[in-house]
Structure 1
Amino acid sequence: MRVLLTTWGSRGDVEPLAGLVLGLRELGAEARVCAPPDEEFAELLEQVGVPLVPLGPSVRSVVAGPKPPTGEDALKLAPALVAARFETLTAAAEGCDVLLATGLLPAGARDVAEKFGIPYVYACFHIFGLPSRHFAPGQRPGTPSPEGETDKRVLWRQDAERVNALYGGALNSHRAAIGLPPVDNVRDHVFTGSPWLAADETLCPSEGMTDLDLVQTGAWIRPDDRPLPEELERFLDAGTPPVYVGFGSMAAYAPKDIARVAVEAIRAQGRRILLGRGWAGLASVDDADDCFVVGEVNQQALFPRVAAVVHHGGAGTTTTASRAGAPQVIAPRIADQPLWAARVAELGIGVAHHEPTPTVESLSAALTAVLTPETRARAKAVADKIRTDGATVAAKLLFDLAKAA
């Protein structure tokens, strides 16, 4: 069996596909992956023996500027990604038995699967974007909902209208070009009635959260056995466990002056500091030997050896820190991150730092709350509940889909 996997988004949208590739390979299936042409994503997929088929612009070119992308940027990006999916996926889908899409709303993927007559799956890594009676939709470029509107059914209908405005014209134009009829609700067309949720049930309970027939597989985790760099090993061995601070792919979204604030707050706790450089470019503020800066490393090996993890609340980082039993301080920036922060706080394994700009005082207070034996004990208990077989579960479901087609 041959499976086509596609995404467009940050590392957190690409790495789970690497885990799914391994799950498929264990069952004897072959995978193709269409993803953004960022160098680090190509290296990531190379580690699991799959070449990256470039799709659309690099993510860095879109999000790594001095300021976050604007609504006008989104209005240009959306149709460009639709066109890229029709072009790239049409070529890549030849000979494939099933197509799975995730990441930034993958308008165009289902339509290519329809053209080839193969099953299509939409997968997500959180429930934040799925229509729900329990929470309102997140922000999306376009005409905002009227101030004071609280009816969630109305808010989700208006969210669908914004999606149509972003993607509808381009999608239906490309559908017409291959002889397919137009769709009138792009969001629901992309999601289907049975989306898959690739998230752990302990961290992301989903029962009753949406009226869609959700299939929760568990998180797609890529086992990582890479050794830590020698210099990092020496730093870890030279003293007490440090506090890790990293904001992943946030780039312009990272809190202002976060490296200085974090260093001062962590030192106030009498702890050493480990900064993850990431796309935000976190760097040492002085030459003191209590602070070390790392690039991309094996977080599965690193997080069990730190005192706490301060991060943005991406699905992947939250899951990895939780699996490691590391207490967390989450300073959410965008999208699903506030929900992960709230869940970590609810489980008692960390603190949600919702103030948009952490200060030395606020971050120090959050660290005081998590750097306790009680929080670490709860974090260890939750770690034991997190399943690691999500990629295998999803791979078997894809096999079943292909056989039934």
Structure 2
Amino acid sequence: MRITILALGTRGDVQPYIALGLGLQAAGHQVTIASSFIFEDFVRSRELQFTPIGRNPQESIQQFKTEIKPQMNTLSKKILFWRIICSGLEKLIDDTWHSCQNSEAIIYSQLAFAGYHITEKLGIPSYAAYTNPLTPTNKYPHPLYKSFLNLDGIYNWLTYIFEEQFRWQFIRKEINQWRTETLNLSPIPITGVYSRQRQQKIPTLHCYSPNVLPKPSDWQDWAYVTGYWFLDSPANWQPPQELVDFLQAGSPPVYIGFGSMSDTNPEALTQLVLDALNQSGQRGILLKGWGALTNADLPENIFKIDSVPHDWLFPQMAAVVHHGGAGTTAAGLRAGVPSIIIPFAVDQPFWGQRVANLGVGTQPIPRQKLTAEKLAAAITIATSDETMKELSRILGQKISGENGVKKAVEIINSHLSSHN
């Protein structure tokens, strides 16, 4: 069967869907990944078909970085974020529509807004696939809800309705215009597309570990927690010899990297990180990423690299310091080493707090409150707390024993069989 996977966002957002695509391809399906053009080489290197959709996510992040103001509150930042996302909505919808013309089933990620509507028009099976718990529950608040408080009961559930409505009202006019003028479908009512998906019992796959966040008891049977979709490094990948030499030259270092996050003052953040490593007496490996850390002159006990597979590097670390994106969090937990999460935005505070609650990491330190002293203290705890290290090891073993891609493929094939 010809399956198109619509995967949008940063590399960490897209990578799990490539892993899923490989699993589906191994099961006999013809898979195309539709994503930003910047990921074409990455996707094709894994021998999957590719088609470009939407804009460059790096440009969106840079625009947000340029336009954000220090005095902005959470709501103002959220409005800015969605205004930037929606500025490329017309192109995204048009690209997505053309990319799916030969599809027999579509799997769509959180930001792939057009996927659901295209499956309705084409009359083919659809699957929502999320890296976060986006199905409403009474058990905990929406991962984008900016509070560490668990409000309990109906209040938690209402945070999902708020986030869904906030997003839907931003895109509703353009989506409905496209539905009526291009797809010849009736408009979606003001209540939104997300409640409609639940009413139609669209299979919804959540690709994180049930050992990290179990499936809530109030989710229906069409909502699944599959386990993580890991894309491990290619079998022929070899680390740089300089990195191997650095690892062998001393005690396990601390990894520090902020992935796709772009800091307003990368030079200051780099110096903060260096000061924290110095204060904690630890060696470090810095990952440059998309602009949070700079190419500063480094002492001998610090090694910097542009990129390296997490599945190879993280198990060799004393601890991992990162932004708390779903993918990096997953890699850190599977490695079985303590995590220190510095949330910048979006779902990162949610995962940071979850890691702390599980006892496998320190309390998250929001980027705007980060100091060298706070980071040094967290590094000291993560590298010396024997209980935290043991809990991390145990959870890592449990996650390593899961096969989220296999479970997801089984679920998809089961629904495809019933659809036929």
CA positional deviation for 1:96: 2.2
Q: How many positions carry a matched residue from both structures? A: 391
Q: Flag structure 2 segments of 5+ consecutive residues without an equivalent.
A: 69-76, 146-153
CA positional deviation for 1:154: 5.0
What is residue 281 of structure 2 aligned with on the other side? Answer: 270
Alignment match of 1:110 (pick from 106, 116, 134): 116
CA positional deviation for 1:318: 0.9
Alignment match of 2:392 (pick from 371, 379, 391): 379
Q: Would you say the 8 A contact 2:34–2:53 is kept in 1?
A: yes
- Tell me, in whole angstroms, the C-alpha distance in 1 between the residues paired with 2:7 and 2:128: 10
Does residue 1:336 correspond to 2:347, yes or no?
Answer: yes
Q: Would you say the 8 A contact 1:199–1:220 is kept in 2?
A: yes
Residues 97 and 397 of structure 1, relative CA distance in 2, 3 Å threshold: farther
CA displacement 1:258-302 (0-9 Å, x = unmatched): 221121111222211111100124135434211111112111000
CA positional deviation for 1:43: 2.8
Q: Flag structure 1 segments of 5+ consecutive residues without an equivalent.
A: 141-149
Does residue 1:77 correspond to 2:90, yes or no?
Answer: no
What is residue 94 of structure 1 aligned with on the other side? Answer: 101
Residues 395 and 19 of structure 1, relative CA distance in 2, 3 Å threshold: same
- Tell me, in whole angstroms, the C-alpha distance in 2 between the residues paired with 1:111 and 1:254: 41
Alignment match of 1:303 (pick from 314, 332, 338): 314
Q: Would you say the 8 A contact 1:199–1:217 is kept in 2?
A: yes
TM-score (ref. length: structure 1): 0.89
Residues 19 and 160 of structure 1, relative CA distance in 2, 3 Å threshold: closer
Does residue 1:286 correspond to 2:297, yes or no?
Answer: yes
Residues 399 and 212 of structure 1, relative CA distance in 2, 3 Å threshold: closer
Q: Tell me, what secondary structure is at the counterpart of 1:94?
A: coil
What is residue 27 of structure 2 aligned with on the other side? Answer: 27
What is residue 60 of structure 1 aligned with on the other side? Answer: 58
CA displacement 1:132-168 (0-9 Å, x = unmatched): 324444669xxxxxxxxx9455554443432232111
What is residue 373 of structure 2 aligned with on the other side? Answer: 361
Does residue 1:370 correspond to 2:382, yes or no?
Answer: yes
What is residue 11 of structure 2 aligned with on the other side? Answer: 11
Root-mean-square deviation (CA), in Å? 2.5
Alignment match of 2:240 (pick from 229, 233, 237): 229
Residues 348 and 158 of structure 1, relative CA distance in 2, 3 Å threshold: closer
Q: Which amino acid aligns with 2:212?
A: L
Residues 5 and 230 of structure 1, relative CA distance in 2, 3 Å threshold: same
Q: Would you say the 8 A contact 1:21–1:48 is kept in 2?
A: no
Residues 35 and 97 of structure 1, relative CA distance in 2, 3 Å threshold: same
- State the percentage of identical aligned residues: 26
15-24 vs 65-74, which deviates more?
65-74
CA positional deviation for 1:390: 0.9
CA displacement 1:47-105 (0-9 Å, x = unmatched): 21124311111001110344366535623532633x3344223323233221000032x
More helix per residue: 2
CA positional deviation for 1:242: 1.0
Residues 139 and 399 of structure 1, relative CA distance in 2, 3 Å threshold: closer
CA positional deviation for 1:211: 6.4
Does residue 1:404 correspond to 2:404, yes or no?
Answer: no
Q: Would you say the 8 A contact 1:313–1:331 is kept in 2?
A: yes
Residues 378 and 134 of structure 1, relative CA distance in 2, 3 Å threshold: closer
Higher relative contact order (CA 8 A, sep 6+): 1
Q: Would you say the 8 A contact 2:4–2:32 is kept in 1?
A: yes
CA positional deviation for 1:8: 1.5
- Tell me, in whole angstroms, the C-alpha distance in 1 between the residues paired with 2:9 and 2:161: 25
228-237 vs 117-126, which deviates more?
228-237
Q: Tell me, what secondary structure is at the counterpart of 1:33?
A: strand
Alignment match of 2:179 (pick from 156, 175, 178): 175
Q: Tell me, what secondary structure is at the counterpart of 1:215?
A: strand
183-192 vs 257-266, which deviates more?
183-192
207-216 vs 228-237, which deviates more?
207-216
Residues 364 and 2 of structure 1, relative CA distance in 2, 3 Å threshold: same
Does residue 1:250 correspond to 2:261, yes or no?
Answer: yes
Q: Which amino acid aligns with 1:84?
A: K
- Tell me, in whole angstroms, the C-alpha distance in 2 between the residues paired with 1:304 and 1:254: 30
Q: Tell me, what secondary structure is at the counterpart of 2:18?
A: helix
Residues 253 and 264 of structure 1, relative CA distance in 2, 3 Å threshold: same
Q: Would you say the 8 A contact 1:3–1:32 is kept in 2?
A: yes
Residues 215 and 76 of structure 1, relative CA distance in 2, 3 Å threshold: same
Q: Which amino acid aligns with 2:103?
A: C
202-211 vs 393-402, which deviates more?
202-211
Residues 349 and 68 of structure 1, relative CA distance in 2, 3 Å threshold: farther
Q: Tell me, what secondary structure is at the counterpart of 1:223?
A: coil
Q: Which amino acid aligns with 2:106?
A: L
Matches within 5 A, 1:163-242: 163-177=167-181, 178-184=183-189, 185-189=192-196, 193=201, 194-208=203-217, 210=219, 213-224=222-233, 225=235, 226-242=237-253
Does residue 1:48 correspond to 2:46, yes or no?
Answer: yes
- Tell me, in whole angstroms, the C-alpha distance in 2 between the residues paired with 1:122 and 1:253: 34
Residues 119 and 256 of structure 1, relative CA distance in 2, 3 Å threshold: farther
Alignment match of 2:135 (pick from 126, 130, 134): 130
TM-score (ref. length: structure 2): 0.86
